[in-house]
Structure 1
Amino acid sequence: MMRLDRRAALGALAALPLGGALAAERSDITGILARHMVASRAAVLPPAVMEAARHRILDTLGAMISGARMRPGLAALRYVQGLGGKGEAGVAASSFRTSAVNAALANAMCAHADETDDFEPVTKAHPGCSAVPAALAIGEKNGASGMDLIRAVVLGYDLGCRLLMALGPDSVRAGHRSAEGTSSTYCALGSAILAPLDETGMRYALSYGAQQVSGLWSWVDDEDHIEKAFDFAGMGARNGVMAVTMVEAGLTGVHDVLDGTHNLLRALSARPDPAAMVAGLGQDFFITRSAIKTYTVGYPNQSALDALLTLRREHGLSAERIAAVLVHLPSDAVGIVGQSAMPDVNCPHLVSVALLRGGVSFVDAHDAALMKDPTVLAIRARVKVVGDESLMDPAAPRGAIVEITLKDGTVLRHHTRFPSGTPENPLSAQAVEAKVMDLIVPVLGRSASQRLVDTVWALERLDNVRKLAALMRA
């Protein structure tokens, strides 16, 4: 795909007939995005983008349905049941219907309840868990088609990830902000194309969304994964759908929230790069860049588990033969997964389980009792996780190195730069389907699950998203 650099992007902006000279500081980025959002309703997406969208929509629906039976999902359902609301959209794996805003909140918390949603390695965004529930909620409310849903999700990935690129992902995290929370509201704003908004309406939606952009890195201290599900997904999906429905209802707003004196980019970044919001827009799609997780665990653990299990498989290792395991992670990942209280996030724990059992199943990853199992703890005492600056590689930002020292003194080492599910090492459609079926069959049953999967594979031919939503009911 063609990619425009920032200088080219600014040159392209300056050439557009926007009613005046456009400088980097005052280039009507808001207008460029608003017009692109309107035009996205009729976009012809390249085949690779269509395939990526189907894979990530299915992957996220799988996360929603499986997450609906976990504590964050159950808590979200109880909460929105207490709110009531007009029955505009449904909540996954239940018969409950509520307002689009409430449904987006609950479904998004379900989508990040079990650490199986996708991840964009450069920006550190989790775009699917807010983009898909938001688009599904507005799509169900307004009777959108399957192709409409695809376009809205593709747009959501672009809006959320591009916001982080414009702010500077490292700058965001250095300021104690969560990249995931910061991006999620704009990921959800892709749903705006499913509402009857013109360019002005899109500008207002971008502004109402901007006022709600939030997210602190304090989520790392959440031991129950409930606030984390809200911080990463529920908050943003709710915010984005609220912004869209408020404008849909006739509320007016600010015209230039990304360009004015007190704009979003300047407010959240000391060195914003506005051109990154539009460089390659409509040609370079972030939905093709996100990684689908092979393991239902926090993303920094994917490469570590891949490297460990590769060594275990290639050398026929068992826990009894191992004296020590040293896991090298990117230095910015150690504070996230080094000693988390959540079993599906804690790297030493997951490595120990993988050594013991030869893999980490969905059940294993979410079994809190395993964190106190004496056999697992005995292995964990030999596992050390360290930060490694050499792994802070922009080309492979979530790689890992695992070094295993055997009791006979032999040292084995494997470096996984790109775990399976990344764009460089993608999962096949069959692998995505197998993963999702494993997640949803226990909730929906096999025949209903297969109907859902088959519907997503042909989503562009679906006349009404409500038919898809109906397949997600328990």
Structure 2
Amino acid sequence: MKAAPQISPVMQALSAYIARALRRPLPPAVLEKTKHHLLDTFAAMLSGSRLPPGKKAISFAKTSGGTKEASVVGSRIVTAAANAALANGMLGHADETDDSHSPSQTHPGCGVVAAAFAMAEREGASGTALLRAVALGYDVCCRLTQSLNAVQFRAAGHSTHSFGPTFGAAAAAGALAGLDEGGARHLLSYAAQQASGVSCWMRDPEHIEKAFDFGGMPARNGVAAAAMVAHGFTGVEDVFSGERNFFVAYGHSPDPEELARDLGERYEIMNADIKRWAVGSPIQAPLDSLLELIRAHRIRPGEVERLIVRVAHLGANTTDNRTMPDICMQHLCAVMLADGSVSFKSSHDPKRMREPRILELRGLIELRGDDALTAAMPRREGIVEIRLKDGREFRHHTRAVRGTPENPMTREEVEAKSHDLMAPVTGVARSRKLCETVWKLEDTKDVRTLRPLLRA
């Protein structure tokens, strides 16, 4: 008689957590924060549908066919759930508007929300089920790369932004597909087999592969894993322990217990960031600091003699004189000086990168990687130092970026940002209606009723 497979305590706890997620109410604060991230990600998808990665994703979805199970945001396409997840994941990270989670070095929303929404549509799930699945996805996504020592894992060349969201997307989709504990164990094995990613995405000049790596690939793979197991596919009972397990393959100094640590008590969505500015994460703190200096000292652009920006070395490397406006530190600081703010439109307008006034200001800006700010990682701190032509000098150090857990955005701020992103695509009325619907999503019996609000 064949012996029963050995299942580790970590896998027992994690698979039970996934299987029971939709029956477990979220604490009020977690429920509210989950709505913030859901709306923020829908907004990123809608605005992303008009950017090159989003346009490519939508045109690709048109060629894919498939059973009509789930919708592609920003279009009228209804396709197979895995196809919709791929497209919507790419829309969610078509630029740098979407959320992030610094300790895990991931952007959870673009992968997790895309997968959860696609499977929720396929299953005709309620708004409550969608919210619980999204919160679950963040828990699994972030713990996965944290269990691998996220900063070290990324430094070794792996893409944390692909690994974590693959597991988070699978967990969210698997819960919505109704998998039991045994199914959840097989689900995680299929996620592990599909987990991949090399961090050379930073060299992608058009952000199209990066949109796939961060959002489209994890969302598609997570939905595929859930759909296959729901169909009856079986697999390895515990991919996280035993011979040739996941951590043997990928862990240099792993902490497998992190996968199940404080489940149901520490909700990782509470530790995720929503970006105040629709630009890359390393640029958030410098823009916060620069705005504070402009307002506090009433600085006008013509008064500036020199501006020094300090961030962690990794952030400086990622944003130094990039050709895409929304991830170029020097350009966006010049826009902030010129305009007194940075909007979605101003941060995504390539014409402004050739504007003489902006180029003149950009020439005054120096970006430096900083050892102390590198040591502060995963906190993305930033320092701005300004010298004016009259000799005055000012300095501001942002330690807690607006939108981080230490300095969270309010519901009103999240709605204002989302409306700015969505209204140009959907129109003002539908944008407002979508906000109202998300805030009361528990009243939604079938999430497919959101489709008209997400079309364009």
Does the pair score TM above 0.5?
A: yes
Inter-partner Cα distance in structure 1 for 2:427 and 2:155 = 45
How much has 1:293 moved relative to structure 2?
0.6
Identify the residue that residue 279 of structure 1 maps to in structure 2: 261
The Cα of 1:393 is off from its aligned counterpart by: 4.9
Give the partner amino acid of 1:348: Q
C-alpha contact (below 8 Å) 1:304/1:416 kept by paired residues? yes
Counterpart residue identity of residue 64, structure 2: L
1:15 alignment counterpart: none
Is 2:413 the partner of 1:431?
yes
Paired residue for 1:4? none
Alpha-carbon contact 2:25-2:132 (below 8 Å) kept = no
What TM-score do you get using the length of structure 2 for normalisation? 0.96
1:353 aligns with 2:342: no
Tell me the secondary structure at the aligned position of residue 392 of structure 1. helix
Say which is worse superposed, 230-239 or 391-400, in terms of deviation: 391-400
Query: What is residue 33 of structure 1 aligned with on the other side?
Result: 14
Separation of aligned partners in 2, 1:290 and 1:338: 25
The equivalent position to 2:393 in structure 1, one of 411, 431, 434, is 411
Distance 2:325 2:120 in 1: 35
Equivalent of 1:158 in 139, 143, 164: 139
Say whether residues 1:168 and 2:149 are aligned partners: yes
Runs of 4+ in 1 over 6 A off after TM superposition: none
Counterpart of 2:422 (choices 420, 440, 461) is: 440
Q: Specify which of 240, 255, 262 is matched with residue 237 of structure 2.
A: 255
> 1:420 and 1:472, CA in 2 relative to 1: closer, same or farther beyond 3 A?
same
Give 1:83's aligned amino acid: S
* Match for residue 115 of structure 1 among 72, 96, 103: 96
Shift in Å, 1:254: 1.2
Between the aligned partners of 1:395 and 1:374, the Cα distance in structure 2 is 35
Partner residue, 1:392:
374
Q: Over aligned residues, Cα RMSD in angstroms?
A: 1.6
Q: Is the 8 A contact 1:324 1:405 kept in 2?
A: yes
Deviation string for 1:258-310 (max 9, x for gaps)? 11222222211211100111111111000011111111000110001000111
Work out whether residues 122 and 394 of structure 1, in 8 Å CA contact, stay in contact via their aligned partners in 2: no
Separation in 1, partners of 2:337, 2:455? 37
Q: Please, which of 53, 64, 68 is the counterpart of residue 87 of structure 1?
A: 68
Aligned residues: 452
Moved more, 229-238 or 331-340: 331-340
1:108 deviates by 0.9
Amino acid at match of 2:66: G
Q: Is residue 380 from structure 1 mapped to residue 370 from structure 2 by the alignment?
A: no
Tell me if the contact between 2:312 and 2:377 (Cα under 8 Å) persists in the aligned partners: no
Is this contact kept in 1: 2:47–2:421, CA < 8 A?
Answer: yes
Equivalent in the alignment of 1:44: 25
Query: Aligned equivalents of 1:416 and 1:197: distance in 2?
Result: 44
Equivalent in the alignment of 1:195? 177
Separation (CA, whole Å) in 1 of partners of 2:75 and 2:323? 29
Amino acid at match of 2:444: L
Determine the C-alpha separation between the residues in 2 that align with 1:181 and 1:196. Answer: 24
CA distance in 2, matches of 1:137, 1:451: 21
Deviation of 1:223 (Å)? 1.2
Give, in angstroms, the shift of residue 358 of structure 1: 1.0
Q: Which amino acid aligns with 2:428?
A: R
Can you list the C-alpha shifts for 1:332-357, whole angstroms capped at 9, x where unaligned?
21111123222101111111111111
- Residue matched to 2:278: 296
AA aligned to 2:423 is: V
Distance 1:310 1:462 in 2: 41
Letter in 1 for 2:55: L
2-structure distance, mates of 1:355, 1:243: 47
Partner of 2:125: 144
Equivalent residue letter for 1:399: E
Tell me, yes or no, if the aligned pair for 2:105 and 2:151 is still in contact at 8 Å: no
Answer yes or no: is 1:320 the counterpart of 2:297: no
Show structure 2 runs of 5+ residues with no match.
none
Distance 2:249 2:330 in 1: 38
Q: Name the counterpart of 1:135.
A: 116
CA distance in 2, matches of 1:279, 1:242: 27
Whether 1:75 aligns to 2:86 is: no
Distance 2:415 2:43 in 1: 9
- Pick from 370, 389, 401 the counterpart of residue 352 of structure 2: 370
Checking the alignment, whether the CA contact within 8 Å between 1:200 and 1:255 is kept in structure 2 is: yes
**Residue 267, structure 1, aligned to residue 249, structure 2:** yes
For residues 31-70 of structure 1, give each alpha carbon's deviation from its aligned partner in whole angstroms, at most 9, with x where no partner exists. 2211111111211211110010011101111111111111
Displacement, 1:252?
A: 1.2
Partner of 1:60: 41
State how far apart, in whole Å, the 2-side matches of 1:331 and 1:27 are: 39
Greater Cα shift, 259-268 or 454-463? 259-268
Shift of 1:439: 1.0
For residue 283 of structure 1, what is the amino acid of its counterpart? E
Percent identity between the aligned chains?
A: 44
1:242 and 2:200 equivalent? no
Contact 1:166 1:265 in 2 (8 A): no
SS at match of 2:369: strand
Q: Secondary structure of 1:293's partner? A: coil
Q: Is the 8 A contact 2:19 2:178 kept in 1?
A: no
Q: Would the aligned equivalents of 1:66 and 1:114 in 2 still touch at CA under 8 Å?
A: no
Q: CA deviation at 1:394?
A: 4.8
SS of 1:262's partner is coil
Q: Are the counterparts in 1 of residues 10 and 260 from structure 2 also a CA contact under 8 Å?
A: yes
Distance of 1:383 and 1:327 partners within structure 2: 7
CA shift at 1:469, angstroms? 2.9
In structure 1, the residue matched to 2:164 is 183
Aligned: 1:227 with 2:196? no
Structure-2 separation of matches of 1:394 and 1:463: 44
- Look up the match of 2:189: 207
d(CA) in 2 for partners of 1:179 and 1:352? 31
